[in-house]
Structure 1
Amino acid sequence: MLSKILFKGGSNFPGKVALKLDKDILKTVCKNYNIIIITGTNGKTTTTSMVYNMLKDSDKPVITNNTGANMLTGIVSCFVENFSFKKCSKTVYAVIECDEANLTLLADYVTPDIITVTNLFRDQLDRYGEVYTTMDKILNGIKKVPLANLVLNGDEPLLGDLGLPNRTIYYGFKCGLRKSNTVDINADSKFCKKCKHPYKYNFITYSHLGDFYCDNCGYKRPNLDYSIDEIKEKSQDGSLVVIGGNEFYINQPGAYNMYNALCAYSIAKVCDIPESVIHDSLKTQKSSFGRQEIIDVEGREVRIILVKNPAGYNEAINSIKLDKRVFNLAVLLNDNYADGRDVSWIWDVNFESLSSLNIDNVLISGIRLYDMGVRLKVAGLDEKKFILCKDYSKLTDEIKECKQNRVYVLATYTSMIGFRKYLNSKGYIKKLW
C-alpha cells in the first residue's frame, strides 16, 4: 500500500523486493490457493475481473491481481500482499492474469487448477514476434503442469488439437457475427497449423476466430463444451446472448466482451458456481481499469477503451459504431516498451470505418500523435476536426470544451495509464489502482 501512495502505482514493487529476498518465495506465498491463470493476447484483465466477481458473488474467498500487473513481479506482489500466517479452513481462490511470456516462469513455482487462453493475436511484435512464437511461450508453461485443467477458446485455430495430457474444455460461438465467411487480409493465423493450407469458415466472429476447418487435411474446430448459441441484442452498452439455453446480459459491449463473458462462464462452470450467480454477476459487471471504463469529466461521459493491436482495435471500433449519436473521439498512441516500440501496426487497423460516423471532434494525443494524425487523415477522417493535444492537460481541457457529452478514448496501454493518473491528480478518478 505504501508503494502505491509514494510512487503513484507500485503494483510490481512488493514483488520486486520479495524476489530479491527469496527467489523462490512464490512457492511459499501461493500455498493453499486454488489458482486460476488467465493468459492470451486480448481480454485477460476483463476476464480476470469477471471470474473474480463470480467467485466473490458466490461467497468464495478470492484474491486477484486486478490492476493488470501480470508479470512475475506483479503476481508475486499479489500473493505477498494477501499472505497470512493463519491457516484458512475454506477453499481460497486466486484469479491471476498472466502475461503470455511469463506463464512458463510462473509454472516453475505454481501448479494451477485452471489455465485459460483467451486468444492469440499479433501484439508487440518487437517483444513477442508472430503469434506462433507467442503460442510456443504459452505451451512451454502448460507442459510443466499436466494436471492443470485447460479452458481454451475453441474458435482460435492455434488452440485446437494440442496433444497435451491435460483435461481440456473448449468454448466458442455457434453463430456468426459477420455476413462474410472470408477472413480479412490482415487477419492472423489464416493458414492451417497442420498442413499450411488456407482455412475455410462456416462463419467468422472477428479477425481469424470462428468455426474454421481445413478442406485439405481435415483439421477443424474442436467440439465445444460451452457456447454462445444466439445473439439477441447488441448495443454500445452491452449484449443479450443465449448460453446453454439461458439468456445472459453482458454489461460490456462488443464481440470481444462476449468472448470474455463466455470464457468466464466456462471457468465458473468448472468451479461449480451456480448459473444464477453467473447471470447476475455478468449483468452487474463493472468496467475494469481502462477497459470500457466510464469517467465523468465536468459533465462529459469519458469512456476509456484500451487498444493495443489490430484485432482488438477493430473490435473496439465496431463497438463504437453501434452508437448512432453524435460523439467525440480521442485517440492516444504511445510507443513505450509496454506498448511495443513498433507502431506500424496502426496501418492494419480499419480506421476507414470511422469516417462515416457522426464524430464531432477528433482529439489526438500521445507520444506518437503525429503518426496517428497521418493515419486518421489517410483513413478519410475530416482533418478540420483534428485537435492535437501534446499533453494530458490540453487533452482534458479540450474534453471539457466538447459540445457533445460522450467522448470515446481509444488509448494504448501506457497512454491509458498516464491519462488515468492525470485524471486522478485532478480528482476525476478517485481510485487509481
Structure 2
Amino acid sequence: MDKSWMLERRETSQFQDGFNKFLEFCLKNCSDPQKIRCPCIDCGNGVKGNITMIKDHVFCRGFDMSYSKWYWHGELLNDDPYPLGRRGVDDFESNDFDDHPIELLDEAQEEFFHNPEKFDSMVRDADKQLFSGCNKLRLPTMVKFYNIKAENGVSDKCFSQFLAAFKEILPLENCFPESTYEVKKTLSLIGLKYEKIHACPNDCILYRKEYADMDACPECGLSRYKPNKSKEIRKLIPQKVLWYLPLISRLKRLYRSAEYSKNLLWHETGRVKDGKLRHPADSQAWKKVDYINPEFKNEPRHLRLGLAADGVNPHRSLSSRHNSWPVFLVMYNLPPWLVMKMKFMMLSLMISGPKQPGHDIDVYLAPLIDDLKELYENGWGDTLCSRYL
C-alpha cells in the first residue's frame, strides 16, 4: 500500500476534525449565524455568510493558514488592549428599538412637551399587541417593516400592497397597518424633523434670515421659483432646495440614551493610554485642539466632529449628469468599532444638484455652522467641530 496516500488521508481527517471544531467555536461565539466571517484564502475574513457557505469556500479554496488567532470569531488575545471580542461583533447592528420601543419614546418625550396627550397615545400604541395572544407589539413591528422597506428601496405603492396582503393573513381583529401612509404618519410623530431651505440656483444665497421673504436672488437676480408655464394657479416650486437635518436635536437624542452616552465618553474612560496610535484621541491633531482650547479639554463629554462631503448620483445611472451632495458628521469620541457604523454617521445636509457646489459650499454649510456656534458658545454640550480633525 502507498504510504504517501495513507499519510495524505490521515492529514485530511485531522483537517476535517480541526475545521469542525472551528465551526463549533464560530457558532458558539457569533452574534448572528448568518453573518460569520469566511476564513478561506480568497475571502480572508472580509466576507460574511452562513456555515454552509464557509464549508464550501474552505474545502474548495483552502483555509487561510496565517489566521492562527481566531479574533474575528471571538477568540481573545492576551496582548489585546481591548479584550472585549469586538473585532468579531457588529455592535448595535440591529435596531434596538425592535425590542425596546418605550426607550425610543422616552428619548423623544421632549418633542411632545406641549402635547402630552399625543405622547400618552404613542405609549399605548407601543404596548398594543398585533392581535390577541400575540407577543409582538404594533409600534416596533412598524419600525422593523419600514426599515426593511428603506434598506431595499421598496416603493410606497409596493409597500402598501404588501401591508394590505399581510393584514389579510393575520387574524381578523388585528391592528397591523394597511398602508404606507399610516406607517409614515405614526412614525413621523417620534422622528426628528428636517428643514427644507430654498437656495439660489447659482449658489449665491440661502433664502433664510434676512433673505427669507425674497422672491429673487439679490446678487444674480434669478427667480427663487420655477416659472409657471400653465395658466392654472399652482403651488410655487423652488428652483433649488437644501435639506438640513438640525444637529442640536440629534445630539440631544444621543445623550438621552444611557448606552450611547457611555460610548461617547469612551475616548476618555475606555481608551488605553500607552502612547500608541489606536484612536484619533492619540493623534497630534487631537492634542493640538486640546492645547488651543484648554477649557474644552477638561470636559470629556465634548464632541469632536469630522465633516465629510462628496457627490453622489441619485439616479443609479452612470450617464446621468445630476449630482447631489450629502454632508456627513462623524463623531470621533466613539470607540473604533462604532465610529464608522452607519448608525452613528449623521447626515447633516443634502445639497441638491444638478451641479456640484464647488467653492460655494460654504453658503450651504451656514445652517450647520450656526448650530455649531450655538453649541459651543451657549453651552449646549459645548460641541466643537475642529478643522484639525
Normalization by structure 1: what TM-score? 0.21
Q: Which has the higher helix share?
A: 2
Larger radius of gyration: 2
Normalization by structure 2: what TM-score? 0.23
- The structure with higher relative contact order (CA 8 Å, sep 6+) is 1
